[in-house]
């Protein structure tokens, strides 16, 4: 079994970003040697810090599928050409962020929104409930530009159409609307990484994917075990063409544990 998980609103509580309620289940995965891949909108900088708190050792995917990071100590041997970045090998899917910022700013007169690049760490901390240090790490983005969307749903649909003409995708996260390259997708990055695991194990792997938002739909939809973690702030997203989705009873990390424990039992681990 390989776990692919979102962070915000899934493994981390939507309001206070705590993973406390999932600690026991996380330890169980480590003990069983089941990889737990983080697949998040968060940045590389945020992940470096969070991985220490979580004592996370497995690969991770940042900025909504824009880049996959393989710890150099892990035994996955990718055949693709990878970049070296500190202690990691990186497979990048994303275009660089500067172009997205420039493009976003050109729509400032048309729609009502604020770009991430316009925010100070203080403003971001205030808006998200992140502490100041974490807010600064979140601002250090490489591939994507989140927006605070103050306009209507119709206006958002119109932005999507406009952005598509420039090869840019618009995707809703928990609080923000994320601009990213059309090649960036949590599902595509997951697929690539899963292939590396299959090459290593020389067999088909079984995946479970857990998420709470619209940006998790593709990742959840392609997993063997699809899990939607219930959110305290929005209704569960629809997973197209799947009638076997588990929707957790509880919110965030409590729901996450519920689903992991159920999967471990179903798969005969415990």
Residues classed as catalytic: 6
Choose, by CB under 6 A, the member of 42, 169, 186, 230 that binds ligand 2M8. Answer: 42
**Alpha-carbon distances, residue 153 vs 110, 112, 149, 176, 177 (angstroms):** 14, 11, 9, 13, 11
DSSP state of 96: P
How many chain residues touch Mg ion (CB under 5 A)?
Answer: 8
When asked if residue 200 is in the footprint of ligand 2M8 (CB under 6 A), the reply is no
Shortest distance, CB of residue 57 to Mg ion, whole angstroms? 20
To ligand 2M8, the closest distance from the beta carbon of 248 in angstroms equals 17
Site string for ligand 2M8, 72-111 (x = CB under 6 A): ----------------------------------------
146 is a contact residue toward ligand 2M8 (CB under 6 A): yes
121's CB contacts (< 8 A; 6+ apart) are 132, 135, 136, 139
Q: Minimal CA–CA distance to 190: which of 39, 9, 77, 44?
A: 39
Binding residue (CB under 5 A) for Mg ion from 190, 212, 230, 257: 212
- 160 vs 175, which CB is nearer to Mg ion? 175
Among 175, 200, 242, 262, binds ligand 2M8 (CB under 6 A): 175
C-beta of residue 76 within 8 angstroms of C-beta of residue 195: no
- Closest distance to ligand 2M8 from the beta carbon of 159 (Å): 16
Query: What distance in Å separates the CA atoms of residue 127 and residue 138, rounded to the nearest whole number?
Result: 13
In 73-192 the beta strands, taken as DSSP E runs, fall at 83-85, 88-92, 113-115, 145-149, 168-172, 177-181
Number of C-beta neighbours around residue 145 at 10 A: 24
Q: Which stretch binds Mg ion (CB under 5 A): 3-11, 43-51, 156-164, 262-270?
A: 3-11
Residue 44 CA to residue 235 CA, distance in Å, equals 29
CB of 97 to ligand 2M8, least distance (A): 12
Quickly list DSSP for 3-30: EEE-TBTTTB-TTT---GGGHHHHHHHH
| The entry of ligand 2M8, Mg ion, none that residue 46 binds, CB within 5 to 8 Å by partner kind | ligand 2M8
Instruction: Tell me the closest approach of the beta carbon of residue 164 to ligand 2M8, in angstroms.
Output: 20
Q: Of the two residues 173 and 196, which places its CB atom closer to ligand 2M8 in the complex?
A: 173
Residue number closest to ligand 2M8, CB atom: 173
- Parallel, antiparallel, or unpaired: how do β-strands 36-39 and 2-5 relate? parallel
The CA distance from 71 to 60, in Å, is 9
| Interface positions with Mg ion (CB under 5 A) | 6, 8-9, 40-41, 174, 212-213
| Interface positions with ligand 2M8 (CB under 6 A) | 8, 41-43, 46, 128, 130, 138, 146, 173-176, 213
């Amino acid at each position: 079994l390989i776990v692919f998980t979102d962070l915000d609103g899934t493994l981390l509580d939507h309001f206070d970003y705590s993973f406390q309620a999932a600690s026991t289940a996380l330890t169980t995965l480590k003990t069983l040697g089941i990889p737990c891949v983080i697949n998040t909108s968060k940045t590389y900088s945020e992940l470096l810090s969070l991985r220490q708190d979580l004592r996370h050792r497995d690969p991770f995917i940042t900025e909504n599928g824009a880049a996959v990071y393989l710890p150099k100590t892990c035994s996955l041997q990718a055949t693709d050409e990878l970049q070296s970045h500190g202690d990691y090998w990186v497979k990048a899917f994303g275009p660089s962020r500067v172009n997205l910022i420039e493009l976003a700013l050109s729509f400032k007169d048309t729609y009502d929104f604020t770009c991430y690049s316009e925010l100070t760490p203080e403003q971001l901390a205030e808006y998200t409930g992140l502490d100041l240090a974490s807010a600064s790490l979140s601002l250090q983005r490489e591939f994507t530009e989140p927006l605070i969307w103050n306009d209507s749903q119709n206006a958002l649909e119109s932005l999507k159409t406009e952005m598509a003409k420039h090869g840019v995708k618009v995707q809703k996260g928990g609080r923000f609307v994320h601009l990213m390259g059309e090649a960036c997708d949590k599902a595509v990055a997951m697929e690539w990484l899963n292939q590396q695991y299959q090459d290593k194990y020389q067999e088909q792997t079984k995946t479970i994917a857990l998420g709470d938002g619209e940006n998790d739909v593709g990742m959840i939809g392609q997993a063997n075990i699809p899990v939607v973690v219930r959110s305290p702030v929005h209704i569960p997203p629809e997973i197209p063409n799947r009638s076997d989705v588990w929707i957790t009873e509880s919110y965030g990390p409590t729901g996450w544990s519920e689903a992991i424990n159920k999967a471990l039992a179903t798969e005969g681990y415990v």
